[in-house]
Amino acid sequence: MSTYNGWTNYETWRVNLEWFDGMDCTDWGETVYDVAKALQEHVEDCLTAQMDLTSDSRVVDYAMAFIQPVNWKEIAEHMLDEYQVELKAY
């Protein structure tokens, strides 16, 4: 299995970096599953909202295809782990 910068794949690394890096996850849910689902829904909602702003839906289609292999659970685990580290620092 191919990985990218320590992440499952390039798509997971890039979505985490550009959408969620440094973001507070406390409002996303309490379990890894809840956070992962909320992250996925957030990105999908933002992308589909772009359909109203562009006359060419292919751009959104490509973006939606790009996020298909994203490992949302891995991002959620990373965010929750980072949150725990921050809590211990205080």
Q: What's the pLDDT tens digit per position in 51-60?
A: 777 677 888 8
pLDDT at 89: 65
- Flag the least confident range among 4-8, 47-51, 68-72, 86-90: 86-90
Q: Copy the structure tokens of residue 72.
A: 């949302």
Specify the residue for token string 């829904």. 41
Q: Is 76 exposed, middle or buried (0-12, 13-18, 19+ CB in 10 A)?
A: buried
Residue 27 has pLDDT above 80, yes or no: yes
Find the Cα–Cα–Cα–Cα dihedral 51, 57, 59, 61, rounded to 10°.
Answer: 100
What average pLDDT does the structure give for the chain? 89
- Among residues 23, 2, 12, 3, the alpha carbon closest in space to that of 72 is found at 12
pLDDT at 53: 74
Residue 75 has pLDDT above 80, yes or no: yes
